[in-house]
Amino acid sequence: MKKRTPDAVNLTPMIDIVFQMIIFFVFTIDLDREKFDREIEVPDAERAEVIEEFEPATVYVQVMANGNIKIGATPMNQATFRNIIRATRAREGQNVPILIYGDGRARHRDLRRVMDICSEEGLWRINVIGMVQRSEGVQ
Amino acid sequence: MSRKRRHLRKPKRDRTMEDIPMTPMIDVVFQLLIYFVFTFEIPDILSRMEVFRPAPDQTQREPDENVRRHTIGVYWDQATDRGFFTYNDQRVSAQALTTRMGMIANINPEQNIMVLATANSYHRDLVFVLNLLHDVGLKNVALLSSD
């Protein structure tokens, strides 16, 4: 009778499972969260319209608690923000949605500044983001 | 002589899966798996509230006094560093505002609501009002900002 050595252990089922797990993680990875700063505490708004899908041309503006403006990970002043909005308007048209991801501790004047710039440059689809369910503590 | 050498050569074998070293691939696959496990996070569920900001129109007439207006004020109290609300210039609690808006929505959900946010008011208070209006079903909401 042939003796079973460690080399003869069948690795196929393990590799199958590992690949299944990798496929799962690749398909469920959430790239959208990279759009927003994790330090921003968005106010709760459980009853508002849940965002199922982000439109591709959407401009995501973050307003920090101290009033600073960011797009993605890039902080910017008002002039730069205005140039970006102007360029977006010229490239995509006036139907581009603006999503404002504002910190609940920010003052209205800071968000108003963002909304004013968008309106002045001809982008009117302005939305304010609220939180329905946080992922904190789930990990 | 040459015939002898030919006989001494190892016989050619078909290259099978057993000959391919699997260890590097498994190493990489496990590295990927560990990365994904540690970076995996259930995403936040976000909502949005559309903000309609009326533009100043010079051709507009003065508002008709007979039309009932509903104006919600969002203010900030410097003494307590907390926000408060008004309804048609009368200070109301968040609970009272919720009840009032529910009643208005029951009568006619198409009514126009003006939300007046002051410059120093907190963004969370504005979101509270917008969320409340969305909850009771009042959709015609205009946001005004004041200094």
Do the Cβ atoms of B33 and A48 come within 8 Å?
no
Do the Cβ atoms of B33 and A128 come within 8 Å?
no
Q: Give the A:B interface size as CB pairs under 8 Å.
A: 159
Domain with B108 in it: 70-146
The answer to whether B87 touches B104, Cβ cutoff 8 Å, is: no
User: If pLDDT is split at 50, 70 and 90, which confidence band does A27 have?
Assistant: confident
Do the Cβ atoms of B118 and A108 come within 8 Å?
yes
Q: What is the mean pLDDT of residues A62-79?
A: 92
Instruction: Write the pLDDT tens digit of every residue in B105-122.
Output: 999 888 889 999 999 999
Do the Cβ atoms of A130 and B120 come within 8 Å?
no
Enumerate the H helices of chain B as residue ranges.
2-8, 23-39, 94-107, 123-136
In a domain, B10, yes or no: no
In a domain, B132, yes or no: yes
Q: Which domains does chain A possess?
A: 32-128 (3.30.420.270)
In a domain, B141, yes or no: yes
Instruction: Write the pLDDT tens digit of every residue in B64-103.
Output: 555 567 999 999 999 999 999 999 999 999 999 999 999 9
CATH number, domain at B104?
A: 3.30.420.270
Q: Does residue B32 surpass a pLDDT of 90? A: no
- Greatest Cα-to-Cα distance within chain A, rounded to the nearest angstrom: 85
Type of residue numbered B7: H
How many structural domains compose chain B?
1
Nearest to B33 by CA among A53, A16, A43, A52: A16
Chain B residues inside the 8 Å CB shell of A29: 36, 39-40
User: If pLDDT is split at 50, 70 and 90, which confidence band does A52 have?
Assistant: confident
Residue that the structure tokens 């039309």 belong to: B67
Q: Note the ipTM here.
A: 0.78
The string of DSSP codes covering A21-77 is HHHHHHHH---GGGGS-TT--PPB-TTSEE-----TT-EEEEE-TTS-EEETTEEE-
Contacts of residue A57, Cβ cutoff 8 Å, sequence gap at least 6: A88, A92, A96, A97
What percentage of chain B carries pLDDT values higher than 70?
78
pLDDT of amino acid B14: 59
pLDDT of amino acid A139: 42
